[in-house]
Chain A
Amino acid sequence: MGTKRQFRIWRGDENGGELQDHMVEVNEGEVVLDVLHRLQNTDTPDLAVRWNCKAGKCGSCSMEINGKPRLSCMTRMSTFEEGETVTVTPLRTFPVIRDLVTDVSFNYEKARETPAFAPPADVAPGDYRMQQVDVERSQEFRKCIECFLCQNVCHVIRDHEENKESFSGPRFFIRAAELDMHPLDAKTDRKEYAQAEMGLGYCNITKCCTEVCPEHIKITDNGIIPVKERVVDRRYDPLVWLGSKIFRRGQVPQTYVTSAQHSGAVHSSAPHGGVHSHAGGSHDPRHETEAQRGVNWHREVPHPTAPATDANGKLPLTELTFDRAAAPSPFGDDVTFPLPPQHLNFAHPQQDEPKH
């Protein structure tokens, strides 16, 4: 009753792997996960896929489908063209365990480092009183199903293993925001903590996380920006700033000037208006297409991140108003030199010829 469709599925482990071609039967109303299950039932009984609820509620079946991070249980086959090849690969930001399953323990480590809810000392269980309007802000973030697609797509760690140590990622920024906005949370320094310990400053608000969120949480607008803005507010209160310079130098959380007002500048530097991308390298669309066909075929190639500028498009160079010893890098905060060679794209000239 169904039609046969072309699938390319990445199979392998940490030692490497390859895309395998399969023709699979697809029936009306099916999603990508159904097709993967059919493959397990037929050609590839040991195909590793992580899944649970198959209803978009548990966030287990995250993978990259035609290069886009998606929940495979929520990706309907009807969204593809009839003759389109569907390419399925594991999440790129996390180490592969086998086939489509990656090691997402990074996220659980970061979860464990994020300070937990601090109950108010003098309120007994049963006496908590909160207004609906006040809990709704945090509730938005508590919708998170921890699919880690936002973590996967975040350019700070997508191709920068070295940033993982000091960067918690969007999932945990909204956790910080959620606790910060919790009407009864007794801890008062969530924002400062996010800035100092979670690496919030690395985020330059490209909104990729918001774009891929299957729960449609406004990660950037409602979570990250409010936390950043409030950190900046405090930092830019001249008295607080002066006090901190004089008395607590070196102990104050670092604040990078990458707040909301600069996001416009970042975006205006992306002339192609297309996908924002995440690896070091070319930003010529032709090269990009070629790179996509290369060894790292599912790698999207970025436009460089613009440095933080003020409303007039100038770099904030005045030492008094800037919190670093020198001007920011014109290549953006997330690029260090030399670029690590494993992050450069390389397309072998004979890559399209079949291997023997």
Chain B
Amino acid sequence: MTETRIERHHYDVVVIGAGGAGLRAAIEARLAGKKTAIISKSLFGKAHTVMAEGGAAAAMGNANSRDSWQVHFRDTMRGGKFLNNFRMAELHAKESPQRIWELETYGALFDRTKDGKISQRNFGGHEYPRLAHVGDRTGLELIRTLQQKIVSLQQEDKRDHGDYEARIKVFAETTITELLLDGDRVAGAFGYYRESGEFVLFEAPAVVLATGGVGRSYKVTSNSWEYTGDGHALALRAGATLINMEFLQFHPTGMVWPPSVKGILVTESVRGDGGVLKNSDGKRFMFDYVPDVFRKQYADNEEEADRWYKDPDNNRRPPELLPRDEVARAINSEVKDGRGTPAGGVYLDIASRLPAEEIRRRLPSMYHQFKELADVDITKEPMEVGPTCHYVMGGVEVDPDSGAAAGIVRGLFAAGEVSGGMHGSNRLGGNSLSDLLVFGKRAGGHAATYADQLTSRPRIPVPAVEAAVETALAPLQRDTGESPYTLQQDLQAVMGELVGIIRREGELVDALRKLGELRERVAKVSAAGGRRYNPGWHLALDLRNMLVVSECTAKAALERQESRGGHTREDFPGMDPKWRRVNLVCSLDGDTVRLEHKPLPKMRGELINLFDRNELAKYLTDEELAEFDALAEEAGK
């Protein structure tokens, strides 16, 4: 053990994750004058953000001047079934436009309106066209823009200090396995270079988690291999808490054929631009699935729905544009009732709705994706689609304004998908890209301020580093355990079959038992080969993160006895206003996941007044409604 070489670095702020949130946080920390490191699990600019297609939601009002932050706030709360942290939803709605405009000063080139402003498109759950976009590769534009902004900051540093990496450095293909603490304060992070397998230690008083989601615990997922819940697990082990882990978004339209691409996303813009869902009988079935809470906004007949694309002010929206959870459940039940396609999905048809030329112009990467991966020409044939695990609403419980993690740890911040609360029980499409920017900036800025305020730098305790080295090397030194790939498949099977879209008590209990067994097997995992770029070893280390996060999800899913957004219980099919007042908070007690109930923060008066009483009645308890009435009465006086 004494022979192990560990490279050491000193930074003010270490950002773990190089997607949209991580890069935006790093930019902010560097602009605040902090020496900043960006840790990227893959190459710089490859993060999962590139997969985002539709756009970034921001109430700029370019396409419809009636849009405003209030309307955006309302849509977000509705989409999240009122379980959102209202303050996060408010900040997000207010600050998104500035964050988007700021990207233009970094060089981003969004699609334009006729008068030269940023064009905005329709999307599920958004009342007005609101998504700034670049064709259907908005995520790529966002990440490239931020990447190039970082390069421009490095060029400034080269000019001023003679070194590109004087104040901001990207550590590509580097994985953090452990956060190190000095008492209750973050002192640094320990990890390894994927390329060489060498260990690296970052000494830093402030760490921003921006590691994305957990989708790799599911077999059918739109997420890349990086999504193993690293940030969630690091936070838990450092003494922070997770909320809303039971809420996972299954995107309604993932590819279902061919098998090798199963799960890969078909952007919602296909539906925003006129695509419709049909079952094997050729029926446009979504009209049968409009829930009561959405009757006012969604059309109940094809004529009105079709008129909406041209005249959105005087018609109700097509039901294909319902929030994602509704559409995913509708597809699930069509397939279950035997009206699915041969590959187990439904048809998504744009070919009969738009001219071929128009489809290619508006949806170039979808056209490309189906042509190359499935040999399907979407201008001629319908696509086969079905639900795929896409996004985790739950995550690190944070202070809404600063992104500081709750729990007993200080100096830890989180932004983006790894943080929880912003999206409630269900995220609206387009809200994640703007979430990354708004809360990435906030977390980076507050991490910098926190580092400034410290009077003494925390110290990394040596035994903690030794323990981290031992844990990291263990799978390589064992040769009696199982292969990490087998374990991952088994984990995916448990999660997909027992903690999937539709959940039942018996299955969840079963899942928890099986996860308990897996925990023992994962503790004994062995990886063949050496330390140098060894994917088997990397996966073996990721597994324990996936496992603990999966336990959180299963436990919270068993506890929440209602159906809401990304959590559907067959045995409790309705939404229960009492459960709306509760967040389920996970923390780690030694090795076991502890679950607690915590009341939701109460929305401020001027925010709750943005809603119609009839609408609130669907979500709130009688007691809360009485409070609302009293408030209204007072305002009326």
Question: What is the interface of chain A, defined by CB distance below 8 A to chain B?
Answer: 13, 27-31, 34, 40-41, 45-60, 74, 76, 78, 97-99, 101, 103-104, 108, 111-112, 114-117, 119, 125-126, 128-132, 135, 138-139, 142-146, 179, 182, 185
**A184 to B, closest residue via Cβ:** B104
Per-residue A-contact encoding for B89-110, CB less than 8 Å = 1, 0 else:
0000000011001101111011
Q: How far is the CB of B609 from chain A (nearest CB, A)?
A: 28
Given the known A-B contacts A27-B259, A142-B144, are A45 and B527 also in contact in the complex, defined by CB atoms under 8 Å?
yes
Q: Which of B44-52, B437-445, B504-512 contacts A (4 or more CB under 8 A)?
A: B44-52
**Assembled-state Cα–Cα distance A299/B182 (Å):** 55
**A127 to B, closest residue via Cβ:** B101
Q: How far is the CB of A183 from chain B (nearest CB, A)?
A: 9
- 8 A Cβ contacts from B37-60 to A: 42-46, 48, 50-51, 60
Given the known A-B contacts A111-B151, A116-B151, are A55 and B261 also in contact in the complex, defined by CB atoms under 8 Å?
yes
The total of chain B residues at the interface (CB under 8 A) is 71
**B117 to A, closest residue via Cβ:** A129
Q: Which of B122-130, B365-373, B412-420, B490-498 contacts A (4 or more CB under 8 A)?
A: B365-373
**B153 to A, closest residue via Cβ:** A116
Residues in chain B near residue A34, CB distance under 8 A: 260
**Assembled-state Cα–Cα distance A49/B539 (Å):** 13
Q: Judging by beta carbons under 8 Å apart, are A104 and B43 in contact? A: yes
Q: Judging by beta carbons under 8 Å apart, are A182 and B107 in contact? A: yes
**Assembled-state Cα–Cα distance A60/B104 (Å):** 26
Q: Judging by beta carbons under 8 Å apart, are B155 and A145 in contact? A: no
Q: How far is the CB of A215 from chain B (nearest CB, A)?
A: 8
Residues in chain B near residue A49, CB distance under 8 A: 535
Q: How far is the CB of A89 from chain B (nearest CB, A)?
A: 16
**Assembled-state Cα–Cα distance A104/B112 (Å):** 35
Q: Judging by beta carbons under 8 Å apart, are B260 and A97 in contact? A: no
Interface pairs A-B: 4 shortest CB-CB:
A29-B258, A46-B529, A117-B107, A116-B152
Q: Judging by beta carbons under 8 Å apart, are B101 and A126 in contact? A: yes
**Assembled-state Cα–Cα distance A60/B368 (Å):** 18
The answer to whether B203 has its CB under 8 Å from any CB of chain A is: no
Given the known A-B contacts A55-B373, A60-B43, A117-B106, are A46 and B534 also in contact in the complex, defined by CB atoms under 8 Å?
yes
Q: Judging by beta carbons under 8 Å apart, are B536 and A55 in contact? A: no
Q: Judging by beta carbons under 8 Å apart, are A55 and B51 in contact? A: yes
Per-residue A-contact encoding for B120-160, CB less than 8 Å = 1, 0 else:
00000000000000110100110010001101101100000
The residue from A40, A54, A185 contacting B264, defined by CB atoms under 8 A apart: A54
The answer to whether B483 has its CB under 8 Å from any CB of chain A is: yes
Residues in chain B near residue A146, CB distance under 8 A: 45-46
The answer to whether B282 has its CB under 8 Å from any CB of chain A is: no
The answer to whether B533 has its CB under 8 Å from any CB of chain A is: yes
**Assembled-state Cα–Cα distance A78/B373 (Å):** 11
The answer to whether B116 has its CB under 8 Å from any CB of chain A is: yes
Q: Judging by beta carbons under 8 Å apart, are A40 and B101 in contact? A: no
Given the known A-B contacts A51-B225, A112-B155, A116-B107, are A30 and B260 also in contact in the complex, defined by CB atoms under 8 Å?
yes
Given the known A-B contacts A112-B151, A126-B97, are A48 and B535 also in contact in the complex, defined by CB atoms under 8 Å?
yes
Residues in chain B near residue A60, CB distance under 8 A: 42-43, 46
Q: Judging by beta carbons under 8 Å apart, are B529 and A58 in contact? A: no
A-B contact pairs, 26 of them (CB 8 A): A30-B258, A31-B260, A41-B486, A45-B483, A45-B527, A51-B225, A53-B50, A55-B261, A55-B265, A55-B373, A56-B369, A76-B372, A76-B375, A112-B151, A117-B106, A117-B107, A126-B97, A126-B101, A132-B112, A135-B110, A139-B109, A139-B134, A139-B135, A142-B109, A142-B140, A185-B107
**Assembled-state Cα–Cα distance A36/B616 (Å):** 53
Residues in chain B near residue A108, CB distance under 8 A: 44, 172
Residues in chain B near residue A143, CB distance under 8 A: 137, 140
**Assembled-state Cα–Cα distance A97/B396 (Å):** 35
Residues in chain A near residue B149, CB distance under 8 A: 116
Residues in chain A near residue B155, CB distance under 8 A: 112, 115-116
Q: Judging by beta carbons under 8 Å apart, are B101 and A125 in contact? A: yes
Q: Judging by beta carbons under 8 Å apart, are A129 and B115 in contact? A: yes
The answer to whether B218 has its CB under 8 Å from any CB of chain A is: no
**B158 to A, closest residue via Cβ:** A112
Q: Judging by beta carbons under 8 Å apart, are A40 and B533 in contact? A: no
Q: Judging by beta carbons under 8 Å apart, are B533 and A131 in contact? A: no
Given the known A-B contacts A54-B261, A126-B97, are A97 and B51 also in contact in the complex, defined by CB atoms under 8 Å?
no
The residue from B110, B226, B485 contacting A41, defined by CB atoms under 8 A apart: B485
Q: Judging by beta carbons under 8 Å apart, are A28 and B46 in contact? A: no
**Assembled-state Cα–Cα distance A138/B112 (Å):** 13
The answer to whether B532 has its CB under 8 Å from any CB of chain A is: yes
Residues in chain A near residue B111, CB distance under 8 A: 132, 135
Per-residue A-contact encoding for B531-545, CB less than 8 Å = 1, 0 else:
011111100000000
Given the known A-B contacts A29-B260, A145-B50, are A48 and B116 also in contact in the complex, defined by CB atoms under 8 Å?
no
**A146 to B, closest residue via Cβ:** B45
**Assembled-state Cα–Cα distance A28/B536 (Å):** 26
**B197 to A, closest residue via Cβ:** A98
**B258 to A, closest residue via Cβ:** A29
Additional 18 contacts, C-beta under 8 A, given A48-B533, A57-B137, A130-B109? A29-B257, A34-B260, A46-B530, A46-B535, A46-B536, A46-B537, A52-B224, A54-B224, A56-B368, A56-B373, A58-B51, A60-B46, A108-B44, A112-B164, A119-B105, A125-B105, A132-B119, A179-B107
- 8 A Cβ contacts from B478-522 to A: 483-486
Q: Judging by beta carbons under 8 Å apart, are A40 and B105 in contact? A: no
Q: Judging by beta carbons under 8 Å apart, are A138 and B257 in contact? A: no
Residues in chain A near residue B365, CB distance under 8 A: 57
The residue from A48, A139, A185 contacting B534, defined by CB atoms under 8 A apart: A48
The residue from B50, B51, B116 contacting A130, defined by CB atoms under 8 A apart: B116
Residues in chain A near residue B44, CB distance under 8 A: 108
Most buried by B among A52, A60, A76: A52
**A42 to B, closest residue via Cβ:** B485
Residues in chain A near residue B536, CB distance under 8 A: 40, 45-46
Q: Judging by beta carbons under 8 Å apart, are A40 and B535 in contact? A: yes
**B99 to A, closest residue via Cβ:** A125
The residue from B102, B532, B537 contacting A97, defined by CB atoms under 8 A apart: B532
Q: Judging by beta carbons under 8 Å apart, are B533 and A97 in contact? A: yes
Q: How far is the CB of B437 from chain A (nearest CB, A)?
A: 13
**A111 to B, closest residue via Cβ:** B151
Residues in chain A near residue B119, CB distance under 8 A: 132
Q: Judging by beta carbons under 8 Å apart, are B151 and A52 in contact? A: no
The answer to whether B466 has its CB under 8 Å from any CB of chain A is: no
Per-residue A-contact encoding for B308-334, CB less than 8 Å = 1, 0 else:
000000000000000000000000000
Q: How far is the CB of B574 from chain A (nearest CB, A)?
A: 37
Residues in chain A near residue B45, CB distance under 8 A: 146
**Assembled-state Cα–Cα distance A131/B109 (Å):** 11
Residues in chain A near residue B351, CB distance under 8 A: none
**Assembled-state Cα–Cα distance A112/B154 (Å):** 8
Q: How far is the CB of B37 from chain A (nearest CB, A)?
A: 16
**Assembled-state Cα–Cα distance A336/B344 (Å):** 60
The answer to whether B528 has its CB under 8 Å from any CB of chain A is: yes
**Assembled-state Cα–Cα distance A132/B44 (Å):** 29
The answer to whether B571 has its CB under 8 Å from any CB of chain A is: no
The answer to whether B570 has its CB under 8 Å from any CB of chain A is: no
Q: Judging by beta carbons under 8 Å apart, are B373 and A128 in contact? A: no
Q: Judging by beta carbons under 8 Å apart, are B105 and A58 in contact? A: no
Residues in chain A near residue B369, CB distance under 8 A: 55-56
The answer to whether B195 has its CB under 8 Å from any CB of chain A is: yes
**B135 to A, closest residue via Cβ:** A139
**A104 to B, closest residue via Cβ:** B43
**Assembled-state Cα–Cα distance A144/B149 (Å):** 17
**Assembled-state Cα–Cα distance A222/B224 (Å):** 32
**A143 to B, closest residue via Cβ:** B137
The residue from B46, B101, B265, B486 contacting A128, defined by CB atoms under 8 A apart: B101
**Assembled-state Cα–Cα distance A125/B103 (Å):** 8
Q: Judging by beta carbons under 8 Å apart, are B373 and A74 in contact? A: yes
